[in-house]
Amino acid sequence: MWNLNELLAGLDIDLARLRDVFLYDPHAPLIFSSGLFVWLFAAFAVVYLLLQRRMTARLLFVTAFSYYFYYKSSGMYFFLLAVVTVSDFCIARLMERASVQWQRKAWVVLSLTVNLGLLAYFKYTNFLGEVWASLTGGTFTALDIFLPVGISFFTFQSLSYTIDVYRKEIRPLTNLLDYAFYVSFFPQLVAGPIVRARDFLPQIRRPLNVSPEMFGRGVFLIFSGLFKKAVISDYISVNFVERIFDNPTLYSGVENLLGVYGYALQIYCDFSGYSDMAIGLALLLGFHFNINFRSPYKSASVTEFWRRWHISLSSWLRDYLYISLGGNRKGKLRQYVNLIITMFLGGLWHGASWNFVLWGMLHGVALALHKAWMQFMGRPKGWQSRGIRRVLGVVVTFHFVCFCWIFFRHASFTDAMSMIQQIGTAFHPELLPQLLAGYPAVFALMALGFVLHFLPDSWEEAGVKTVTRLPLLGKALLLIALIYVVIQMKSADIQPFIYFQF
């Protein structure tokens, strides 16, 4: 017979382990490509469907799940999400009631202060302290400040709401639950895309409707996003890219160059993979997000690159920063300066480090130079090159972007310059056959990733239609097959999404 004490003891162990699974673990944040999320989302979907005709209960349930999702990513810092939500909801309401313009301006300044103040404290306190110490000749001891996951995303998202209310482009919400739902909606909460209030708020109270086309596109995007993240990005990162970037001087120039190409593919597959899964999950829940990536390495200029890369951020910077600085309304020279300032702050948004500042400045100067060249040549807005000229433009733009990625990826200028020096002075192309033979799976996946990236857009639409036509069982088997491949290729440790750190 079973010993009751032993049975209870065994049960306690199981309960303890189960409890640990659902509690916050800083070493294992909840991400879309984890097994835990798959099971949580399956349970979530059942309840979500049961509540499809009960609007308020469904919104409340999704909001609660979103807060738990954020808790699993950042622990008790989920209260910051509530602070931003409540403050901006109230500020927008008070802004609407203001009778004179200076009062409206004061309220929007308060919103900027709250959101950017939180961002500045958690993200830039140590950086600014070190800068001040270097300027004054003093010393600064870095504070132990935890950076909450996704704080850059949800503060910018909430700011878009208060600024749009200030500009009278939208009316403020009267229901706090609706606004909490908008700010915390879990598919895009921690790594974007940054969803505009004007695009998302009208969808909240619509009856739940997921058409076959939405469901098919959602499954396709989840499939492609998971493949890009968990198969291509994670594998080439762990097995090649990290080794090169961690010790660039130990490798030849050709290895460093291929490491840079690998990182260019890694960061694209990682971030666009997350965006694809976020957009796909939203579609399965009945919501539409705007596209966030459009094959950016197909770009023939740096201007085109920023119309294709992280579109939600680049358009946010354009609409709320570049235009606020004056845009192109105050002369050509001021326009170039505004572009550089915008990208300087865009670089700083990515991280409190001089390497991010330099990355942003390089892109800002390149944007200004391209804009000046287009104006000098009399090219109309939106003009695109054709034929061999476009091919050369794509090659030059891709290598400029890769050059900038070197500073983006490295934590110090010394390591970045060491990598550039290795490429320029110790290239050793004769090592290429040996290198390809030593990492066959890595370079096969890199080749596959770039081939898929440069395929015509029509091929992706054909893929969407093919998945849409599959029966439900076929869609399920497709995802199961991919999950099996992921399990076979995944490393022992969870590989968080790169943009979680921003």
- pLDDT for res 8: 47
- pLDDT for res 257: 96
- pLDDT for res 495: 61
Q: Is 428 a catalytic residue?
A: no
* Active-site position among 27, 288, 310, 350: 350
Whether the link from the prior residue into 193 is cis, omega within 30° of 0, is yes
- pLDDT for res 41: 87
Domain ranges, ordered by start, for the chain: 30-204, 212-300+385-501
CA distance 299 to 311: 13
CA-CA-CA-CA torsion for 38, 41, 46, 51, nearest 10 degrees? Answer: -170
Residue 156 amino acid letter = F
CA distance 69 to 44: 11
Mind listing the pLDDT tens digit of every residue in the chain (502 residues)?
455 555 545 555 556 666 667 777 767 777 776 777 888 888 999 999 999 889 999 999 999 999 998 888 888 888 899 999 999 999 999 999 988 888 999 999 999 999 999 999 988 888 888 888 888 878 888 888 888 888 888 899 999 999 999 999 999 999 999 999 999 999 988 777 889 999 999 999 998 888 989 999 999 999 899 889 888 998 999 899 999 999 999 999 999 999 999 999 999 999 999 999 999 999 999 999 999 999 999 999 999 999 999 999 999 999 999 988 888 888 888 889 999 999 999 998 888 888 999 999 999 999 999 998 888 878 877 778 888 999 999 999 999 999 999 999 998 899 999 999 999 999 999 999 999 999 999 999 999 999 999 999 888 889 888 888 888 888 888 878 877 776 666 654 556 666 556 5
pTM greater than 0.85 (yes/no): yes
Find out whether 7 and 50 touch, Cβ atoms under 8 Å: no
b/e map of 415-437 (b: 16 or more CB within 10 Å)? bbebbbebbeeebeeeeeeebee
- pLDDT for res 500: 59
- pLDDT for res 18: 63
Token pair recorded at residue 473: 């069982």
Among 172, 150, 160, CA closest to 196: 160
Find out whether 224 and 191 touch, Cβ atoms under 8 Å: no
- pLDDT for res 5: 54
Count CA atoms closer than 13 A to 240's CA, side-chain side. 27
- pLDDT for res 477: 84
- pLDDT for res 423: 94
CA distance 10 to 16: 10
